[in-house]
Structure 1
Amino acid sequence: MGWTLTSENNLATTLAKQINPFWQEQVTLGRFNGKDGVTVRFAYCIPPSPKATVVISSGRIESYLKYKELIFDFFQNGFAVFILDHRGQGLSDRMTRDRQHGYVANFDDYVDDLITFIDTVVEPNQQGELHLVCHSMGGAIGALTLLRRPYLFSKAVLASPMFGIKPALPNWLANGLIRTGLAVNRMKKKDAGYFFGQTPYIAFPFSLNKLTHSKSRYALFRELYDEEQEIQLGGVTTEWLAAAHEAMHTIEQSAGGIRTPALILSADSDTIIDNKRQRKVAQTMPNATLEIIPRAYHELFAESDDIRQRVLTRVFDFLSAP
């Protein structure tokens, strides 16, 4: 089937003339109270007679504002789309005094929020089957959700899922560094602190980025974070890393129990995710298809057209198949 997809050519014009007006006219914004009263922000849009409903679980540091182009593409092709900003990032509440901290106490908190979102916001508006689409950290959250609620989604797409992260340190070293960092934070009576080598938000130039080959998509991403400084996020805290390690271990041990039909897209030139571990985990999921995307950097949904269009065609075909 032929799908209608945006292009990186003249993307700034497309954003101004098509995507932003669509956002004003078609997208509903809201908030709900997540676990422990943390305010979680969300957005959704429903086209006429949607073929299915998609829930997006985004990656670390991301906001739904960064997903405008992708949401527009889903909507244009007949999918209802629901997306939330995970706690501690985007437009949702932070849980530490420093807004730049990448922090969560436990990945189960992300899962609790996602399930609350689906139960209270998505399902009352759902049309057609319910599908899950994830990127990076959102893939780890998605996998944990599929384990907890095995029959919630008809299908799942996990793009560059965070089943392992680089640098892939030996367990003894990673755990030792995490324990040391946690002890230092307790000693200093801090609610959280950056992990060794992590800093507040830095806008790297395109030439140093390892996220995408698309100059225009990268430029728009950085412009957005300059304009909407509320969504800026720095590096990970030791607490987030400890929670991530625990989550990835759980996924690795339990992946055989994820029975939802899944499409796993692995970016072959990813320098953020440990692809070796990711693919090993993917291969233990009984109903998953692992597809390796040649030359692709981490952000498959924001890559250059030659990669992104292939990825989205594959995603739309998978979600539309009977």
Structure 2
Amino acid sequence: MIPAPCLEDGHGGGQALWLTCADGVRIRVVLWANVGARGTVLILPGRTEHAEKYGPTAARLAAAGYAAAAIDWRGQGLADRLLPDPRKGHVGRFADYQLDLSAFRRAVKAAGLPAPLFLLAHSMGGCIGLRGLVQGLEVAAAAFSAPMWGLKVPGGQARLLTAAFTGLSRAGLRGRYAPPPASGATCYLETGAFADNTLTTDRGEWDWMQGQLRANPELVIAGPTIGWLAEALAEIAALSRLPSPAVPCIAAVGGHERIVDPAAIVARMSRWPGGDLMEIPGAEHEILMETEHLRARFLSGVVAMFDAQQV
């Protein structure tokens, strides 16, 4: 593990490291140690996000007695970008994210962050995290914020779109931006307006997130490629056919969710033994970046579940 730049503003106390995955791709993680912590929370960000975005979440978890760590997935944050145009959201295979998750898990262990481990995953990270759990990732409990277990697809035509994008991908168009309603070369957070945005109802959080990109333009990710979307839709379909893992779980979805499919979250949680579905009226997609009241409702439930697993 090699020290990496840490982009926290102020004094967040994070330690950033470079990691090399089994296939040679370099990723980055940020660790927030906490003396006397009762466990460590593995934070899995969503598409376009970077580790330091979860610094405030790590601070809230620290106040509750937990250490935390977050990852820059391949193709985003300061991890290796996978195409000549670094703004394109791309992955070779969705399964490649499991290589990142494995490297992340090893790094947390090598750094000596305390057990037990817990999972806190948002959006795309929720899809990757579910696959990790199915494949044996050992955590004491898992929490999901607007997990990408389904995408908002026009007309509910997920199967048709999966077939279409798979065909385009195989035809040599994997590296092209996906067509509308995907955002193409535009980064939604970078150029969007707060009014009626799909991420948060908190103006302060919106401004802070935009400010991170202005201060660190190398973090910017625009729309997904045809290849990424084909891989994501195929992974969502594959996971939907699998049983839920035997891990204590809570999943939250906002009442104004417009990016992932709330019905897919409800369906998954209805067959998750001991799972708890938390619907948060008024919240947009990024519940952990929401107003204090909405964010605290989710996090308090998450911490209570983590606390209940302590022996």
Same fold (TM over 0.5): yes
Structure 1 residues 172, 307: CA separation in 2 closer, same or farther (over 3 Å shift)? Answer: closer
- For residues 112 and 287 of structure 1, do their structure 2 counterparts lie closer, same or farther at Cα, with a shift above 3 Å needed? farther
Q: Is the 8 A contact 2:174 2:227 kept in 1?
A: no
Structure 2 alignment gaps of length 5 or more: 1-7
C-alpha separation in 2, matches of 1:120 and 1:291: 31
Fraction of identical pairs, as percent: 26
Rounded Cα–Cα distance in structure 2 between residues aligned with 1:303 and 1:193: 32
Gaps of 5+ in 1: 1-18
Q: What is the match of residue 316 of structure 1?
A: 303
Which of 176, 194, 197 aligns to 1:193? It is 176
Cα contact 1:96–1:191 (8 A) shared by 2:
no
Match of 2:11 in 1: 22
Matching residue within 140, 158, 166 for 2:152: 166
Does 2:116 correspond to 1:146? no
Q: Distance in 2 between matches of 1:234 and 1:98?
A: 10
Matched residues in 1 for 2:254 and 2:110: separation?
31
TM-score (norm 2): 0.90
Matched pairs, number: 296
The answer to whether the 8 A contact 1:35-1:112 is kept is yes
CA–CA distance in structure 2, aligned partners of residues 35 and 237 of structure 1: 24
Kindly provide the CA deviation profile for residues 259-301 of structure 1, in whole angstroms up to 9, marking residues without a partner as x: 1111111212100011112211222222321121112111010
Equivalent residue of 1:74, what SS?
helix
* TM-score, length-scaled by structure 1: 0.87
* Structure 1 residue 180, shift from structure 2 partner: 4.9
- Closer, same or farther: CA 123–156 of 1 in aligned 2, 3 Å: farther
Per-residue CA distance 1:188-244 (angstroms, 9 max, x = gap): xx6611111231224201013111000000001001111101110000111111111
Moved more, 217-226 or 286-295: 286-295
Counterpart contact for 2:253–2:278, Cα < 8 Å: yes
Structure with more helix by fraction = 1
1:207 to 162, 172, 195: 195
In the other structure, the counterpart of 1:236 is: 224
Q: Distance in 1 between matches of 2:16 and 2:199?
A: 27
The answer to whether the aligner puts 1:299 opposite 2:286 as a matched pair is: yes
Q: Do residues 264 (structure 1) and 251 (structure 2) align?
A: yes
Q: What do the CA deviations read for 1:28-58 (whole angstroms, capped 9, x no partner)?
A: 1101112421110111011111011110000
The residue aligned with 1:16 is: none
* Offset at residue 176 of structure 1 (A): 4.3
Residue 19 of structure 2 is matched in structure 1 by 32
Backbone CA RMSD of aligned residues: 1.7
Cα contact 2:174–2:226 (8 A) shared by 1: no
- The within-5 A match list for 1:214-293 is 214-254=202-242, 256-293=243-280
Cα contact 2:174–2:225 (8 A) shared by 1? no
1:155 to 141, 161, 165: 141
